[in-house]
Structure formats: C-alpha cells, structure tokens
Structure 1
Amino acid sequence: MPTSLLRIFFYLLLVSSLRTFGQAPPSVSTLTQPFDTYRRQALQEKLFVHTDQAFYLTGETMWFKVYYVDGTRHQPLDVSKVTYVEVLDKEHKAVLQTKVALSTGGGNGTLFLPSSLSSGTYLLRAYTSWMKNFSPGFFFEKTLTLVNPFKPLGLPLLRETPDYDIQFFPEGGHLVQDLPGNVAFKVADASGHGVAVRGWLLNERNDTLAKFSPHKFGIGKFAFTPLANTRYRVMMTDEKGRMMTRPLPIVDTQGYTMRLEETANDQVKITVNTNLDGASSVYLFAHTRNEIKAAEQRPIQRETTFLVDKKALGEGVSHLTIFDADRKPVCERLYFKRPTTSLTIGLKPDQKQYASRTKVTLDALVEASAAQSKQAALSVSVYRLDSLAGMDSGNILSYLWMTSDLQGQIESADYYLQTETAEVAQATDNLMLTHGWRRFRWNDILGSQTTTASKRSFIPEHNGLLIQGTVTDPASGRPMPNVITYLSAPGKPLRLYVSRSNADGQIRFEMQDFYGPKNVLVQTNPKDSLLKLTIANPFSASVSTTHLPELSVMESQADQLLNRSVAMQVQATYGGDQAIRYRYPIVDSSAFYGKPVESYALDAYTRFPRMEEVLREYVLGVMPRKKQGHFRLYVPNEPYRTFFEDPSLVLLDGVPQFDMDKIIDFSPLKIKQIDVITNHYFIGPALFPGVISFMSYKGDLAGFPISPSVLRLDYDGLQLQREFYSPRYETDKQISSRLPDARTLLYWNPDFKTDAQGKGRIQFYTSDQAGTYVVEVNGLTTDGQAGSQRVLFDVKNSPK
C-alpha cells in the first residue's frame, strides 16, 4: 500500500477511536453501523479563512490566514499540507487561484486583485485535495465585495416590484394533509439581507388562517394543519406597502411530519405524526458533526414521541433524522446547542484616539480554564471602517460552530452565539429550520456501494503538492498502465520525480518543497514517447451552489470610493517597492541525490571545445562509448570496478536525456558542473545503473534542444509568503517625512502567538488616513478552542 494511503488509514483508525454510540439494538444497528463506517472512511476536514477585510478595490492585495481543523472536534490537523484558494465570479468561474502550504498552525497567503476584474460580489473558497472527494458543501466559502474604481459600477436598476427571495421550509421537510406542522420562512433582498414583512396565510376562499412576521433577519415561522383538497397561498407586504404572493410548498397526501420543542426538564421532545395506515415503527437518529448521539426505535400508529436529554447532544449543530420501518429517511431537522466554552480574547489599546504617524500598542490576553491551553495562534487585522467596509472579514467561532455545517449564506452569524436570551434562542431555532445540513446526503451513507478510502479519486497531500496526470494511448484513449514517467522542473535546487502509471493510467508526483512558478517538463522513456501525457488541473471542477448577492455599493458612496481609490493609488506609487517583499522557505538546496560520489567543477579544469574530450580526459566516472553509430554513457559499478552493462540515467539540469549524441554535441562551455553517482540509484519506483548529472550555470538548460515529445507547461507551485510592510515612525525625521502614507490597512499578522500565560503585545503605527479603525482578531488553541474579538480606535490628523 502506498505510504500516503497507509498514513490516511492509520489516521482514520485514530479518528474512529473518538466517541461512538454504544451497544444498540440490532434493528438500530442497521443505521449506526453504515454511518460509523462512513465516518471512519470519510475524514472530515474544515478550513476557515480569515481575510484582512471583506471589501476591496482592484489594485489592492487581499491578505488571508487559513485555519485547518478536523470537522468533529475542531482541533488542529496535520494531514493535508496544501490548501487550494480560489476567487469565483458570479458565473462561478475562477478568476484567481493559488496554492498555500498548510501545517498544524494553518497557512497564510495573498492574492493581488488585478484591474481586469469587474465590480461585483465574488466568492472566496478554499479546500484541500482530500475535500475534493466530497460535495463542495465541504469547502470553505465566503462572499467578497470588489469594486473597480476605473470602470462604471454597472449597478442593477431598481425595480418597482420588489425582487425578494421568499422561501418556505416545512419543519421536518414535508407538509402532510391533516397533520399539524410548522412552516419556517425566509425573506431576503438581492443582497441577501433579511426583509421585514407582514404576512397572511390564505386558503382558496381567501380565509386568513395565520398571520405572521419575521422574528429576526427576515426569518420566522407559523403553525397550521393543511387540509385535503385545499390550496394555500401566502400574501406579504413589505415596509413600503408593496404586495407579494407566493404559493406554499406542495402538501403531500400521505407521509410523516416532525416537530421539535424544548421541555422544562432540559430535554428535547420530538413528536412524529403520520397518516399512513401501515406505519408500524420509526427510528430517531441524531448525530453532532458525525458523532452519533442518539439512536432509538419506537412503535407508531398516528403519533409517537422521542425524548432526548440535551446533555447527550454535542455542542453546535446536531442533525436529527426520522427513518421509517424500512430505514428510509422521511423527516429531518437541525438543532443547535450553544457552546458552553470558547476562547476569550481580551484586546486593550493603550489609547482610544491616536494622531497620525504615532505608535499603537495593543495588549492581547487569552483567557481559558485551568484545563485549557492559553497558548493560541492568532491572526490580526487592523483596517479603516467606512460606509464601504463593514466589520465582516470573518469570525472563526461562528464559522466552526454554525456556518460550516449549514447551507446557504447566514446574515450576522455572530448574533446567534451571543449570550442566550429568549429572543436569541428563537432566532437560532428559526435559523435551524431554514438552513439545511450541508455536509452529506443520506444516500451517500446508506447506498449499496460504499466508497472506501482507498478508492477515492483524491488522496491527502501529506508531504506537499501532488502533481497528477494520466498516460493514454493517443489513438484509442485507453489508459496505459506500468509506464515510467519523469517530471522535472529545471532550476535550483535540482529535483527529479519519477512515477509509474497504475492500472488506470494515472501518475502522481509528490513535489515536496515545491514553491513558486515553475516550468515543468514531463516525459516517458523513448520506447513510450508516442504515448499521450496529460497533467490534471489540481483545482476542483465542482461548481459552487452558493448564490452571490447583487453588488450593494451605492452611487451615494462615490466620495468614499474616490477617497479609498486615491489612497490606494498613492500608496502603490510611493510605497509599492517596499511593500512587495517575500519570505523564502528554508529548503534543502542540495541535489535530490545528495552528495555525489564524484563532482567536477569544470571551471577548475582545462576547457575543451567538445564534450567527449571533457568526459574522456578528466571525468573518471563516465565512460562514453559508441554503438551502432550513437553514443552511450556508462558509469562504473562501485565497488566492483566494472562498468554497468546498461546506460546510466543522464540528466541536464534535472531533465532526463536519452539522446547522448545531443549531449556530446552540446557545448561544454555552458556546463558548470558534472556530478556522477557510481552505484545503483532508486528514484521512486525506478532503479537506475548510476546517474550522470550535467548542470548549467543558471539551471535553465542553457538552450539545450528539448525533444518535441516532452510535455512542457507552466505550473504554479506553493505560494511564496509575502511579508506585510508597515512603516515605523520612531524619529522626528521619519514623522516629518513628506513621503505620503495612505495606508487604510495598518497591520496584518497571520501568525501572532501568545505566551504560556496567554499574553501578547501588538505594536504598529498609524498612517495619514484619519478615521475609525477596527482591530479584528481570530484565534485557535492547540486543543481546539476558537475565539474572535474586535476593538475600535480613532485616528485624527495631526496639526500642521
């Protein structure tokens, strides 16, 4: 079994050691066993991306931090080493893409927003290779607003008739005639914000059966019992008196309904009704993020109830499903149990108001119980608030506990995690009724064919980027198994990757420490050179189902747009060079074969005009021979002091070469060094009788002619980390400098850490831009406690 599959197998065994529902009745086990099998095979990964803000102009840079945790316990993971980050437009086409290195501390990166982008709302999404095996509902998604100040906004025309998104959600999923039920509803405008309305439920005789209005954010519910042979419709009016009419969802003639209510003795009561004459029993199955919390069977005639102790349910979103006697899901709803603990982050600036170009000192304090770690990895953003940019660049707490498990966009997700009141509790339950479970479908679990981890198309990238592709017959398209392929990326350090195609013709190259844009060459042995090589696009082909709202920027905000646009252009003009600096990763700079047995720096020797003379005169470990009119190069088989019978692997700047006549004809004046390995050498699945490595001065092949059968393509490796630039004003000369400082993003640190006592200090300097600024912090401890905090301060222009 490949190493990568062994690692995921052992990790899944570790995950399976998490709490599993105990001994269940045999009939219930027909549900619990396939679910537990799925849970062990389908490791849940979660990503959260904290961006420096959520509103941008083209020409600006988006800074982001990626948090990486397991989907059940929200503890930092160390399985995948790469995350894929994309920006999608309204047609869900990728306009920007990048790959970011991951570790247990997450990852961070940047995306420059070019002026070729149009104004609008965009979707930022992030995922790992393993997550591509599942629905895009597993991906992280976040809406961004982008304005191109050099193009007309192109705002949509206002409609006389409101274009509201009105949806109805029967509790449990169905309305069934003669069975009581609740119907939740959601009314949102084109930007996704809830709308205040008044509504009436009417029958076909225009009798008013119920009156209702939203409780919060355009979401509410009403109760009624649908009758046979009756049509229903809903009339609504908004605050401007505009009327809307919508039909109710179809009323089923037969089926099941479910209703949930909390009891006074800290239990959850689930009432199940049916009008089916043959119904004999139903099952309740409850889980919290794939940990089974309840599984029970009860008889039913017309009605039955289940009582679940709240303490038995996990914190966060629980998924409650009712199955009929044939173990088919018939009703489903969500329940939210508020987390009792979270990471408390204190932020205390040394002042509430600052002059321009002055130091801001901000003390951070992470508070936790004695049993919890106070050492946290924090991401910190400090940016100016205005009518364009609101405080919505992301909250890790609400995302992990709520948003990541629910479908659709949630307005003001932070609201639901505040201190619980009756109003908040009602709003939270309404939210559970209107946003479905996003993380799997029951047919994925109860289907007859269960996909095992070893059969999934994408494996976790444990050691770095995987470049994958296929080898096929160009005439028939048939996959070609057992073909040795080579991948090279000329440059320094010297690297060569070898893969043998499997039964499906698939090839995989594990690219450890593969950073930055590269020119990649992929080839086969000469006998297979007519085969077709294809390198797969590593980004997901799954289309997001998220609806992007209309651009919410108004023409009345033109002054704010102009102010920010001027600031961005001034900063790019006067501070652009200092702002673009990269932190290069520490990687092994030696060649992939390590220290060679023989190494020749050719500048230390007499320079000959022909390569054959160089090899014969002073490269002792290489024997050029001519057979049937063509050169071949051999190396001695140490320690036997005989030459290998087969030709050695010959490389030029890491690229395998099979035509030795071209090597002999190549000018030795372009070669800086020759390394020789004088014994058998393994690279992946291949064994070579020695290695001869020619290296040019720049590692760029020095104009060597490449065979047309070699596949050449530009390929972006992992993103190099860019350093955030923040000027310092410590001297009078610096403070009085006439060089403008137009920064609206004062500080960004994706990896700020507190000490063992939970303390840390942040320092930065204000710019020339006056206004109100927000310090926004997200954080995660090693034991999985997440938290978020914000604090405001003002900047006033210094007197001249």
Structure 2
Amino acid sequence: MKIKARYTLVIVGCLMAGLLAFTQKAEDPIDKVVASLQQWFDANPQEKVYLHTDKPYYLVGDTIWFKAYVTVGSENQLSAISGALYVDLITEGDSIAKQLKLPITTGMSVGNFVLDDDLTREGNYRIRAYTQWMRNAGADYFYDKTFTIGNSITNSVFAKIDYVYTKSSSKTNIKAILKYTDEKGNPLVSKNVSYQLKESYRILATGGGKTNAAGELSINLPNAKPGELSNSYLMTKVNLSGSETVPKTFPIKTASLQTDVQFFPESGSLINGVKSKVAFKATGTNGLGVAITGVINDSDNKQVAQIDVKHLGMGYFYLTPQAGKSYTATITYPDGASNTVNLPAAVNDGYVLSVLNQQKDSVLVRINTGATKAANTVGLIGQMGGKVYFSMTVPIQNGSAVVSLPTKEIASGILQLTLFSASGSPLNERVVFIQNNDNIDLKINSNKKAYARREKIDIDIDALSGLGKPVGGNFSMSVMSEDAVPSYEANENSIFSHILLSSDIKGYIEKPNYYFFKPSDDTKANLDILMLTQGYRRFNWTDVLSNTSPANTYKADKLINEITGKVVTFDNKPVAGGRVIIINNKTGFTRDTITDKNGRFAFTRLLITNGIDFTVQGANAKGGKRVNTIVDQVTPPVISFNKNIGDVNADIPTLIKTALENSLKQDLEMQKQGKPGRVKELREVRIRAAKPKFGAGAITESQADMVFRPDSRMPCTSLWECLQEANRSRVRFQQLLDTTGECGGPLWIPIFQQKTQYVILIDSVMIQPCYYQSVLINNTEDIAKVVVSCDSYAINAKLLGPLNLSRLNTRIPPPVIAIYTKSGNFRKSSDPSIVHYAPKGYDYVREFYAPKYNIPQNNPAAADLRSTVYWNPRILTGPTGHSKVSYYNSDQTGTYRVTIEGINAEGMLARKVYRYTVQ
C-alpha cells in the first residue's frame, strides 16, 4: 500500500531560544556530540594552502611567480601554526623536479620556479604545496594544481596523442595515436620511434615503430585493470637523422577504461515509500564529465524517472522506491552505445535528510522517515570547519519534519548537516554550499581603458566590505598579455574555488572557478549538485565521538629552525650526559650541548638557508666516540597519483600556439638587435649516441646492468628493500650474524646468484659491511642513484677503479653496487659518532624585474614581448582600503588582464579581474 506522507512545518528563527531549542541537560547526547566535535578540531586545526600564480601555463625558460596564502579554521583566518611552506614542482613521471622551502610570515609566503631547460621540458606538470602540519590530514588536502609547460622556440618536434577505445568481449582496448610534426605543422614521415610505457619507475611495456605518411604511429596499450593506466606515461624517442633523437613524453590520460556512472541518493540511502533526490555523475575515460542520457525503470520494466545531465556530466532525478521492487538505469552515451546499471537497493527503515530550497538567507531542510519510524526525535547539527552553527533536537511527527536554518551569519563554504539518533549516533549527512556576500569587494580602476606600448599605467585598488566599508588587506597582483597567453577563467583555480571548495573535497573538480567567477542561480544550483556527488570528507564521526584524535605524526615547522636527535650506544641504549657538537665549516658556526636522560639533544633558534649543511658529532660523558649519533629527519611525503587527470593536456602544441608565436617574435626582435635570443639560451635536450658518463670508472648507463633512482612512491622503507624489489633487480639480500661483535648487530649482505657477495662503493669509496649498514637500512632520501654491475668482469673492474680493485686482492672482479649520495660526503672510515646533515633550508626568492621606460638606459630598442608584464605579491591596503600600483606596459599589444587576489586578517577573501588594452 502506498503511503502518502503529511508534513509538519517547523521554523527555527533564532538559535538562542526557539521552538526546536537544544535540550538543556548535562547528559544530552547532542551536547556531547558538540563538545566532542569542538575537542577534535581544537586538537586538529586544519590548515589550507592556496597559490596565486602569475599565469595559467608556461613555456620552458619562463619563471613561475607565486604567492602562498595559508589559512586555518572555518573563517579562513591567516594561519600562525606553521612557519615553513614546501612547494614541489612535479614532473609528468611523478618525480620532483625541484622543491622549495619558504618561510611563512603572518600566514603568507612568496616564491618562484625558474623553468630552465635543465630542469624542465615540454609536458604536464604539477605544483604541490603543503606544510608539515597538513600532512597529518593527508595529501588529499594539499594544494595540487596540474598545468602545462610548452617547449621553447628551439623545439623542432611537436607531438600530440589521441586515443581510440574499442570493446572486445568484456575488455576495453586502448590504442594510442601519436602524431609528430615539425614547427610548421608538416608531418614527420618515416621516422623511427621507440617507446617505453612507464608507471613511476615501473616499465609496463616497450616497443617501437615507424611513422606513416601523416606522421602518426599507433600503439596498442596493454589491457589493464580499471584505473591502472590513469597515472602512467609514454616516453618516446623519435629519430630525426643519424644518431640524433628527440624525446617526447605523453600522459596516458585515462581515468577509467570506460565511462563511469555513479548514483548518489541524497543523504545516503533510498528508503521505501520516501521520495528522494538521486544525483548522478558520469565521468569519461579522460576524467571529464560526459553528457549521458537515460531512463530509470523498475523491476516491472516501468519507466519511473529520466536521466538528463545538467552540468559537466552531473544531474539528478527524483525517485520514490517501493518495497519489493528494484531499479535500474539504462544509460545512453554520446557515441550511441548503451548499458544498464543497477541503482542502490532501497531499505525499509531509515531517514532521508534533504535540502528543499536554498534562499539568500536560509536553507530549508526536510527530514523524512520510513514507515516504521512515524514518531520520534532526532538531533541535527550543522557545522563548518569545526565551528557549530546549529545544534538542536527535532521532533518527527507523521514521518517528517521541516526546519528552516538561517544562514546569513554563516561564513561562505561547505556547511555539513548531520542527523543523529536520540542516543547521539550519526545517521545521515548532507552538505550544502553557503555562498554569502562576505568576501572583499575589490574596485580596480585606471585613468583610461586604452594605453600605448611602454606607457606608464597607474592602477587604483579599493578594498571594500559587503557594506561598502574600507578593508585593510594583503594582496598579490599579476598582469599578463591575454593575447600572448589566452586564458579561460572558468577552468582556473582561484582563491575562492580552492579555499572554500577544493581544499575540503577529495577528488577532481572540473572547472572549479565556474562556480565563483560569475555567480548566478544556475551556478549555485550546479554547485549543489556537486555537493551531492562529492561532498565533505574532512573527518570521521567515529573518531570524533570516541574522542580518538588521529596521531599527529608531523609537527608544525616553526619559522626559526631547530636540529634535534639522539645519541645511543651500539646496542641502542640512550647516552645520558653525552656531549654533542654541531659545526658548519663554511660559516664557522659551532655550538655544543649535553644530552638528557633519554640521550636526546636539541640545537634551537637556527635560521637555516638552503645549501647550509652541518657536521654533528656525539660522544659519551667521558668523551668516548663509540656511539651512534642520530639526527631526526622528516621524510618527504610520497608523490600521490594525480587526481586532476581531467586537467592533463594531451595536445600541448594547440594550447601554447599563441604563446609560442609570441616567443618567436620576441626572439627574432632580439636577434635583429644583435643579441643571442632564446634560440641560443634555451636548447632542447637531445639524446645522442654518446650518453653522459657518471661515477667512478666513468661507465655509461647502458653498460650497467641496473641503474636505480629512488622514487617516493615505491612500496619500500629502506634502500635494501628498494634495491631488491626494483624492476628486473638481480640483487638479493641475506641477513648474517656479526660474529666479531664489532658491528653492533646483524648485517644485511647483498648477494648475486645466491653465492657471490657484491662489493659496495659509496661515493666511489669501497665500504665494509659494518659501515654500509646505516645506508642500507635507512630511507633513500640522501641517495641520488645506485648503479649495479653483475656479469661483465671488465665493467666491474672499470667501475671499481684500480685502487679499489687492488685492495680486493683478486684477479676476478666481483659484482659491484655503486651508491651515489646527494651530499657526496660519505666518509671513507664511516664514523657512527659523526653525522653529515644537510637539512632543507629556506630558498632564495628572486624579485620580479619591472622595467621603467621613463629612464633612457632602461628603454632599449629591442622589443619587450614578455607575457607576464607585471607581478607584485606585496600590495597592502591600509585603514583607508586604498592602494595604488604603477608599472610600464610592454610592447605586447591587445588585451592585458590584471588579476588581484588576497585576504585580510579576518579571513575575508578577494579576487578581481580587470582588463584594458594596449595599442
């Protein structure tokens, strides 16, 4: 029998004293929930990082200019928790090209990456930013942006990749179509191409072929489990002539091996007899939304709803499930294919927490129950970032209740509504995005809208509150030629989209700034669909209610550094009262201290810049050096898979075409003036037959049996594990007892073919087993690479070198493992009481050069065709809310885009884009 629900409207107008006022009892379960939530967030404040960059994509030779904003709490106030920010430039192969450590002062920091040709080549890169404190919440909440770097004008090979998907039985086959052209678009015909399909350090497949008349080469990618290829990449080498080859790397841009469609009943479950909103999301193989259509049928094959996408593969429909029936979705894809997907099964008991309507100053919430829960009481809590805005008990009458929640005083962001049982157990969750007028209103003006080349421009900036009052704040400003670097604001990250949205949600958000740069009723409605399909995942209620705070493994860095560690005996007992000396020979710095009862020591109040290293030596209370000195070191976070696969660009030449033409114009102008230009300054990396040499004995990489480079994502915790588990490794380890008693424990010995010990060289010096144990059992942070030579006596001998070979007193050179450290400072007689420590110090930050063309010597005849015309990360508006910025236009003509972002002390965010023209 179909039940017709009758609803009782309950309005909450004031939280101080209302019809649904929170029960004032010491033992009230909802009181306990609120107290536990507050306690959890007090112990685990959540930092967020946003980077404002000067432009959306770059060319090799450019500089990435950025300013970091570090916030904390529900009201996005500038954080005082962390004193250091880490910013990684990550390659397409998921390795770190460069890492910066920058000081954070008053919640902000500035920095830059120079994209020289030694550091970067064409491809899709990521910028990842985090603090050590943020690592406790996990890498899902780091700032992680995918962007494109195009090659410079020295590039003679342009390439793109397309995919063809075909079905055979139950498998989806992927064919990659690679196309190579020259700089004029002419196909590179009959060129030999070799390739490796790699995932991090693993080689998944190898092969090669010859390009056809269209400059194309087809590669059948191996069948894999869904998602396995999503973060792999194809390394190719195209032979131009003779021994010269040019490398090109392509992303394998597949989020899954078929379009993925998921269904999300509002607040959790479908309840029989209760009408529910069901959201859906269709994601294509490229990670982007797919415009599907379809119908919902019940088990009697009767159509009960229709599927229509409203925005980027997302939409919703209404369904009232009936007991005894099941439901399926018949989906039609843009290419005409179709399939059937089962909807989540409905249950008889439970609650549906739904948002009926979101007005300007309120949200209307409805609670419906199944047939067996006609009358009872539930709790409702609304919180954002740990700040509780609503907590109340709600009586359910005739199976439903409606509550109006005032939102005018709530900060913009994700409001989490959670329904609790009478005993305080979480039942349902629904998140709503609150978009109030609580940001800084920036007014940007110039005295005219059109300027001449190299003309001075004065920009007036006024920061106002929503009520029109002046606001003091801290801002960053970029000016770029939009004709040289075309941009699409909806696709970009912004301070609004990241701080308020992306930083609280796991997973990829397509076109994040669409919801903010031109807000309307449509953008708000589509943002609510996003809330239904992705939602809020900052914490687990089970941990909160059990008062179980996650172990905060990582301490927040302070602006002023410290070096800590311990001194222990060879059998790992603490050395109390020991003396520890720290020395930096370059600066003459020396300091000493005494260990405490646990053998711990600390050198505090140090300001360490990058490139400063130390020697730390420990001794026991009597000055004896038969001790182990251990310096505390924090391992860097692993490089997680790129969640923003939808932002990976498989056709870089098309994206950068305009920027490349601009760069060519600039180069020709410089050459006319007799200057070298970028052609000579930036040379594309070309691999020739003679490969670079390395290491003792100067063997080439091709002569080695294995060359191992550490990868942060490898599932190993020590160097010996990494070497043994590396791809095609011929190194095995045996653990032997130390019969002499001199080494202080068992030994890990590398073995070749179950019988022959490898000789280990560290920084070209032969090291005995006692002294290389510390290198094998530690992580790979200080390891640059490891070279392994097994079979060839000649190569073994060459790698060892004559001095080491003579020390072995053998005519047959044994297999060799040559370890090269980043510091290059492993001592010949490794003294465990001495530690060479090279901490990551603060990096030097360049200042943006802005020419002043009113001075004759700064007004050269050569064309100034910079795409980033001006960058200023330090703009302040004081009590008047006003600031003025002056700079000179370049020789670029067309539209200039001014982008200003920032924040004030109260956490009010700001972003404004302003345009003018240069003729």
TM-score by length of 1: 0.71
Contact 2:67-2:110 at 8 Å conserved across structures: yes
- 1:11-22 matches, cutoff 5 A: none
2:312 is matched with which residue?
217
Larger mean CA deviation between 722-731 and 348-357 belongs to 348-357
2:660 is matched with which residue?
562
Letter paired with 2:512? A
Q: Deviation of residue 210 (structure 1)?
A: 1.2
1:268 counterpart = 2:268: no
2:767 is matched with which residue?
none
1:145-181 C-alpha deviation (Å, 9 max, x unpaired): 3334557545342447895443322211223444432
Letter paired with 1:717? G
- 1:535-684 matches, cutoff 5 A: 535-537=632-634, 539-541=636-638, 543=640, 546-549=643-646, 550-553=648-651, 555-557=653-655, 559-560=657-658, 562-563=660-661, 566=664
Contact 1:529-1:709 at 8 Å conserved across structures: yes
1:435 pairs with 521, 534, 539, which one? 534
1:727 counterpart = 2:851: yes
Larger mean CA deviation between 248-257 and 195-204 belongs to 248-257
Contact 1:81-1:465 at 8 Å conserved across structures: no
SS at match of 1:361: strand
Contact 2:663-2:865 at 8 Å conserved across structures: no
1:291 counterpart = 2:387: yes
Where does the alignment leave 5 or more consecutive residues of structure 1 unmatched? Answer: 1-20, 579-700
SS at match of 1:460: coil
1:43 pairs with 42, 45, 54, which one? 45
1:760 counterpart = 2:855: no
1:527 pairs with 620, 624, 627, which one? 624
1:426 pairs with 498, 522, 525, which one? 525
Contact 1:485-1:498 at 8 Å conserved across structures: yes
2:436 pairs with 339, 349, 352, which one? 339
Q: How many residues align?
A: 648
Q: Deviation of residue 48 (structure 1)?
A: 1.8
2:16 is matched with which residue?
none
1:321 is matched with which residue?
418
1:684-742 C-alpha deviation (Å, 9 max, x unpaired): xxxxxxxxxxxxxxxxx9x999967422243330122211112222256654x343433
SS at match of 2:531: helix
1:673 is matched with which residue?
none
Contact 1:191-1:552 at 8 Å conserved across structures: no
User: What is the RMSD of the two structures over their aligned residues, measured on CA atoms?
Assistant: 4.0
Change (3 A) 1:305 1:544: farther
Change (3 A) 1:506 1:367: same
1:155 is matched with which residue?
161
- Rounded Cα–Cα distance in structure 1 between residues aligned with 2:310 and 2:879: 44
Q: Deviation of residue 331 (structure 1)?
A: 1.4
Change (3 A) 1:520 1:204: farther
1:492 counterpart = 2:591: no
Q: Deviation of residue 414 (structure 1)?
A: 3.6
1:747-798 C-alpha deviation (Å, 9 max, x unpaired): 11111122432222222223334443311110212232211001123334xx
Q: Deviation of residue 514 (structure 1)?
A: 1.6
Contact 1:287-1:313 at 8 Å conserved across structures: no
Change (3 A) 1:418 1:360: closer
2:500 is matched with which residue?
401
SS at match of 1:172: coil
Q: Deviation of residue 383 (structure 1)?
A: 1.7
SS at match of 1:748: strand
- Rounded Cα–Cα distance in structure 2 between residues aligned with 1:718 and 1:757: 34
Change (3 A) 1:334 1:558: closer
Change (3 A) 1:506 1:239: farther
TM-score by length of 2: 0.63
1:773 counterpart = 2:896: yes
Letter paired with 1:380? M
Q: Deviation of residue 332 (structure 1)?
A: 0.8
- Rounded Cα–Cα distance in structure 2 between residues aligned with 1:81 and 1:318: 29
2:297 pairs with 174, 182, 202, which one? 202
- Rounded Cα–Cα distance in structure 2 between residues aligned with 1:378 and 1:405: 23
Percent of aligned pairs with the same residue?
24
Contact 1:281-1:297 at 8 Å conserved across structures: yes
Change (3 A) 1:30 1:771: same
- Rounded Cα–Cα distance in structure 1 between residues aligned with 2:346 and 2:578: 59
2:72 pairs with 70, 85, 100, which one? 70
1:248 is matched with which residue?
343
1:132 is matched with which residue?
135
Letter paired with 1:270? R
1:382 counterpart = 2:385: no
SS at match of 1:34: helix
Change (3 A) 1:405 1:557: closer
- Rounded Cα–Cα distance in structure 2 between residues aligned with 1:790 and 1:457: 41
Q: Deviation of residue 502 (structure 1)?
A: 8.2
Larger mean CA deviation between 744-753 and 523-532 belongs to 523-532
Letter paired with 1:126? A
Letter paired with 1:439? R
- Rounded Cα–Cα distance in structure 2 between residues aligned with 1:462 and 1:417: 34
Change (3 A) 1:336 1:263: closer
Q: Deviation of residue 103 (structure 1)?
A: 1.0
2:553 pairs with 457, 470, 482, which one? 457
Contact 2:150-2:653 at 8 Å conserved across structures: no
1:143 pairs with 143, 146, 151, which one? 146
Contact 1:101-1:464 at 8 Å conserved across structures: no
2:874 pairs with 742, 751, 758, which one? 751
Q: Deviation of residue 283 (structure 1)?
A: 2.4
SS at match of 1:35: helix
Where does the alignment leave 5 or more consecutive residues of structure 2 unmatched? Answer: 1-21, 168-256, 682-824
SS at match of 2:544: helix
1:99 is matched with which residue?
101
Q: Deviation of residue 322 (structure 1)?
A: 1.7
Q: Deviation of residue 356 (structure 1)?
A: 3.2
Change (3 A) 1:229 1:762: same
2:839 pairs with 710, 715, 735, which one? 715
- Rounded Cα–Cα distance in structure 2 between residues aligned with 1:738 and 1:74: 47
1:53 pairs with 40, 52, 55, which one? 55
- Rounded Cα–Cα distance in structure 2 between residues aligned with 1:240 and 1:739: 52
SS at match of 2:267: helix
Change (3 A) 1:740 1:318: same
Change (3 A) 1:179 1:711: same
Change (3 A) 1:378 1:538: farther
1:795 counterpart = 2:918: yes
- Rounded Cα–Cα distance in structure 1 between residues aligned with 2:103 and 2:270: 48
Q: Deviation of residue 377 (structure 1)?
A: 1.0
- 1:471-482 matches, cutoff 5 A: none
Change (3 A) 1:408 1:226: same
